[in-house]
Structure 1
Amino acid sequence: MEVGMRVKKWALMGILCGTMVLLAGCGKAQKAYKQAVALAENGSYEKAAASFKEAIAENKDKAEYYIDYGMTLNHLGSYKKAIKQFEKAYQKVDNKISRQNNKRLYYGEALAYYGIHEYDKAKKQCDKALEISESKVLNGDIYATLAMAQWASGDSLGALGALDQLIKENAKDADGLVLRGQIKQSMGKYDSAAEDFLKAISVDEKCYEAYFGCYNVYNDAGRESDAKDVLEKLVSIHGADAEAKTQIGRAYICLDKLADAEDILSDAEKEKSTDALFYQGKVLRIRGDFENAIKKYTKYLKAQNGAVCALPEVYSELAGCYIELQDYGQAEDYLEQGLDLGVTMAYQNLLRNRVILLERMGKMRQAKELAAEYLQTYPYDKEMAKEAKFIATRIGNHSKKKQR
């Protein structure tokens, strides 16, 4: 699966729940809470966390304060601290409001457990949340989180089952269709995956991940002409805002139109698209300008303001640049940072780059072992299959020299 693919924010396990409710009230606690919500909605999660703490200090009896503080901590990657906040919000009393709050905290706990790679606990909390009939608007995100936890624990069929239920409840959930397509693609079900991606595009013309999902699956299936046509459709979108310009620039990169990519990504950056920084880095990396690519990637990471990185493939890209510069220590550090995020859409490329790093470092036997493990998980990666054969040949040649 191509590293540029990015899943919806819930799949990165660091979102704020979209159902924050500003309850009527007054005083310091409510003022701090309202300020925290506003900061969180603007992406200022560290400042939001401080305001949530202030609200809780003034009033320790509001479940929503703990829940929204926990969601903010999820966004900052402080998953264990988030779990503690959710535990404080649990309500034993059985009424509509308590059930709504409990559903949100179970969902928040699921996100946090996913973040610390405790996938069984994440699945359990998703199941508990789905047992509550209130707040059905959350069901789509909960099913998606359940699917990600199942996928991460090796249960691809279970993940598809969760997404089937999501789409059964809402056939127009474009992000759910994309995630199902990505999982099908990882299983080698290319035709079915393409159907999901195309359906997502028909539901939402600006579901950009669907275009790239379709592009990748067509390439995997050897349908290069169809892959190109999908991205040509994307670049034809008119009246593009900063996000659309960023995605069009990304498409130009895939189409090997680097000059066009540079121009439109520069416009997107001027319009405050932080993702444009990442794709500018990719252009520089493709051109072999690794040092300036690193500067762009680093600038992108700083722009996250402490939040969990929305494009975890940046760690794989940084590692790749440092491998080319033969700074293997830095490469290893960035690979570990990326892998610490768990099973994201960058996971495959991170594992691939780890094999390449070991090979470049001359650790051929370790590289061979990791390549074999990789191919058990991703048997359809033809490039890695070739790489594994090359590594085996290098080991064989080295053994022959020793015998002489």
Structure 2
Amino acid sequence: MRLLQLIQRGLANFIASAYHNWGETYNERGQHQDALRVCERALALNARDCHAHYQRGIAYVGLRQIDRALLEFNKALELADSAWQVVEIHIWRGLALYHAADYPDAISEFNLALHLQKTHSMVYVYRGMAEQGQGNLSAAQADFTQAIRHDQANFIAYRHRGDVYAKRNNIRQAIADYRAYLTLSGGHNARQAEIVRQEITELSRRTA
């Protein structure tokens, strides 16, 4: 009987993992309601599925239901059993708070993530965005520079640092970063690329 229970529990956990993996795929596609649906199925099979709570939190961020997202991330933190999971949860807690315009608390979450993983390039980008959100351009610039130091191919960091340079009237540096963004992004986002090209054109007029 004991063996049968172990087999049944193992099977339930395996199926729950499949569901939360589908949740991750749906979130990546922006299909957040579908992600919530399959994560509910995962949690019905395994209420202690950290990744299902984590993916459900991401779905709620996508739907801009920030309070619900934070509750899910809190639960995921309780269940996390690896440093990697803790880092990712703090990152997403920070992003949730960023979308709620709670920049100081977002920065605190990104600080916690960086305490555990100091070379995570994108966390510096996110913290820089939060600093930028509260008008601290000097700190934002420093974070975007750190992001590039840890990953010289991080085109998102170049884009944001270019924005900061432009706001601080450092025109040549802004143009250089925008050009780096266009080179490194490789057409990743056609709409953003066109916006950046327009920024370069406008800034070039100011230096003519």
Q: TM-score, normalised by structure 2?
A: 0.77
In structure 2, the residue matched to 1:80 is 33
What residue ranges of structure 1 are gaps of 5+ in the alignment?
1-58, 235-245, 251-267, 287-404
- RMSD between superposed Cα atoms in Å: 2.8
TM superposition shift of 1:74: 2.1
Verify the 8 A CA contact 1:119 1:153 in the aligned structure 2: yes
- Equivalent positions of 1:321-332 (< 5 A) are none
Picking from 79, 89, 92, the partner of 2:42 is: 89
Picking from 109, 113, 134, the partner of 1:166 is: 113
In structure 2, the residue matched to 1:197 is 144
TM superposition shift of 1:84: 2.4
Verify the 8 A CA contact 2:30 2:62 in the aligned structure 1: yes
Verify the 8 A CA contact 1:109 1:125 in the aligned structure 2: yes
Determine which structure has the larger helix proportion and give its number. 2
Verify the 8 A CA contact 2:162 2:178 in the aligned structure 1: yes
Picking from 169, 175, 182, the partner of 1:247 is: 182
Hey, what's the Cα distance between the residues in 2 that align with 1:71 and 1:227? 35
TM superposition shift of 1:85: 1.6
Structure 1 residues 60 and 218, CA gap change in structure 2 (3 angstroms): closer
Hey, what's the Cα distance between the residues in 1 that align with 2:14 and 2:21? 14
Hey, what's the Cα distance between the residues in 1 that align with 2:176 and 2:27? 38
Picking from 59, 62, 72, the partner of 1:115 is: 62
TM superposition shift of 1:161: 0.7
Verify the 8 A CA contact 2:27 2:58 in the aligned structure 1: yes
Sequence identity percentage: 23
Secondary structure (helix, strand or coil) at the match of 1:90 reads helix
Structure 1 residues 231 and 121, CA gap change in structure 2 (3 angstroms): same
Verify the 8 A CA contact 1:249 1:279 in the aligned structure 2: no
In structure 1, the residue matched to 2:98 is 151
Hey, what's the Cα distance between the residues in 2 that align with 1:169 and 1:216? 28
TM superposition shift of 1:249: 7.5
TM superposition shift of 1:149: 1.2
- Equivalent positions of 1:6-21 (< 5 A) are none
Hey, what's the Cα distance between the residues in 2 that align with 1:124 and 1:201? 32
Structure 1 residues 185 and 61, CA gap change in structure 2 (3 angstroms): closer
> Can you list the C-alpha shifts for 1:71-107, whole angstroms capped at 9, x where unaligned?
22223333223222212212787xxxx85xx110111
Hey, what's the Cα distance between the residues in 2 that align with 1:160 and 1:60? 35
Hey, what's the Cα distance between the residues in 1 that align with 2:113 and 2:124? 9
TM superposition shift of 1:159: 0.6
Picking from 65, 73, 80, the partner of 2:18 is: 65
Give the letter for the 2:110 counterpart: L
In structure 2, the residue matched to 1:227 is 174
Secondary structure (helix, strand or coil) at the match of 1:138 reads helix
> Can you list the C-alpha shifts for 1:16-62, whole angstroms capped at 9, x where unaligned?
xxxxxxxxxxxxxxxxxxxxxxxxxxxxxxxxxxxxxxxxxxx9961
Picking from 181, 186, 197, the partner of 2:133 is: 186
Secondary structure (helix, strand or coil) at the match of 2:79 reads coil
Structure 1 residues 65 and 221, CA gap change in structure 2 (3 angstroms): same
In structure 1, the residue matched to 2:153 is 206
TM superposition shift of 1:276: 6.3
